[in-house]
């Protein structure tokens, strides 16, 4: 059974209608998908897009509010949300960053000073050790001189004599007694040296060591204070940065990026949401190309439908 011309036209119009609606659905789906990707990108890095005048969406308008307004609460809320603008945030955080940079340089300088002081202290201690060893040896030799003299003279007097005569006269016993007294005195002197270890160093060397150790303690204390200040500055910067990102995320929602995606797809942009890095710009380019093709197909389908 053949179809009339009117029926054929109705079928063509219906097919064209569904074809056009299919293109529109594809366009809407593409816009929503890109809006989702852009919103996820913004959630991961809130500086990936520059959004203007975000603070206006987070605060009530006083002049439009008929009820009494708590001014202090209003400004507290405004302070919590500020700054959201990237440029203002960079201006706000710059002093803290500069302070952190100066503290880092101070820590490096203190570390270099500590290293140089340790080297100087080691050098002075080596000098002190050599001087002390020489002084101790001279002191011991001087105190044992009487024993060494007697022992040497007795050994010289015993040279060339008969051993039996020396035994009878008790010379070996006297020599052994002297050597014993020498050993006892030497042991006593060693104990004295240990008990009076600091007395064998010059006063000038003592003062130099004391000065270096005092300077080292001062440098270490200064370094610790600087590191404490640095940790405080780092915590402040981290808190400010986290608050900055939280405020930006709280001031923009998913529907804002649906609006942004529609603006990109239709090549109509008001500049209130602008991509701010390579990835977000790449997304805008891809969305523009895909949607231009879809919109061209929709326009072409509508033209065929109307003609």
Half-sphere exposure of 206 (CA within 13 A, CB side): 8
Domain locations along the chain? 1-45+277-307, 55-253
CATH code, 55-253: 1.10.287
First to last CA, the chain: 28
Give the whole-angstrom CA distance, residue 74 versus residue 10: 62
* The predicted structure's pLDDT at residue 123: 81
More confident residue, 45 or 80: 45
* The predicted structure's pLDDT at residue 64: 47
Q: Which of 10-14, 61-65, 248-252, 269-273 has the lowest mean pLDDT?
A: 61-65
Q: Are 210 and 128 in contact (CB under 8 A)?
A: no
> With the CA atoms of 288, 293, 296 and 298 taken in that order, what torsion angle do they form, in degrees rounded to the nearest 10?
-100
Residue 42: count of CB within 10 angstroms of its CB: 23
Q: What is the full DSSP assignment across 99-155?
A: HHHHHHHHHHHHHHHHHHHHHHHHHHHHHHHHHHHHHHHHHHHHHTHHHHHHHHHHH
Q: Which two tokens stand for residue 1?
A: 């059974």
Q: Is the pTM of this model over 0.75?
A: no
Task: Tell me the pLDDT tens digit for each residue of 281-307.
Answer: 999 999 999 988 888 887 777 676 655
Collapsing DSSP to helix, strand or coil, 73 comes out as helix
Rounded to the nearest 10 degrees, what angle do helices 278-306 and 254-265 cross at? Answer: 60
**Could you tell me which of 27, 43, 17 has the C-alpha nearest to residue 290?**
27
| Radius of gyration of the CA atoms of the chain, in A | 47
Give the whole-angstrom CA distance, residue 259 versus residue 266: 11
* The predicted structure's pLDDT at residue 59: 46
Collapsing DSSP to helix, strand or coil, 294 comes out as helix
DSSP label of 4: P
Rounded to the nearest 10 degrees, what angle do helices 254-265 and 5-44 cross at? Answer: 120
Q: Mean pLDDT throughout 187-192?
A: 76
Q: Which of 28-42, 142-156, 165-179 has the lowest mean pLDDT?
A: 165-179
């Amino acid at each position: 059974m053949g179809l009339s011309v009117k029926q054929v036209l109705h079928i063509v119009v219906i097919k064209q209608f569904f074809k056009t609606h299919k293109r529109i659905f594809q366009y809407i789906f593409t816009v929503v998908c890109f809006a989702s990707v852009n919103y996820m990108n913004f959630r991961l890095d809130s500086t990936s897009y520059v959004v203007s005048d975000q603070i206006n969406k987070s605060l009530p308008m006083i002049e439009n509010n008929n009820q009494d307004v708590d001014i202090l609460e209003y400004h507290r809320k405004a302070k919590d949300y500020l700054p959201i603008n990237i440029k203002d945030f960079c201006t706000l955080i710059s002093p803290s960053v500069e302070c952190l940079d100066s503290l880092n340089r101070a820590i490096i300088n203190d570390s270099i000073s500590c290293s140089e002081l340790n080297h100087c202290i080691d050098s002075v201690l080596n000098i002190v050790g050599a001087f002390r060893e020489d002084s101790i040896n001279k002191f011991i030799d001087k105190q044992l001189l009487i024993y060494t003299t007697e022992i040497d003279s007795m050994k010289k007097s015993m040279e060339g004599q008969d051993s039996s005569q020396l035994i009878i006269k008790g010379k070996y016993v006297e020599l052994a007694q002297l050597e014993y007294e020498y050993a006892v005195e030497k042991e006593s002197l060693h104990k004295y040296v240990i008990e009076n270890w600091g007395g064998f160093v010059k006063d000038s060397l003592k003062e130099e060591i004391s000065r270096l150790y005092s300077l080292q303690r001062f440098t270490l204390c200064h370094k610790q204070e600087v590191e404490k200040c640095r940790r405080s500055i780092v915590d402040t910067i981290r808190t400010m940065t986290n608050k900055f990102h939280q405020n930006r995320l709280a001031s923009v929602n998913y529907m804002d990026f649906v609006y942004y995606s529609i603006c990109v797809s239709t090549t109509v942009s008001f500049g209130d949401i602008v991509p701010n890095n390579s990835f977000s710009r790449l997304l805008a380019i891809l969305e523009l190309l895909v949607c231009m093709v879809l919109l061209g197909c929709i326009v072409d389908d509508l033209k065929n439908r109307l003609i």
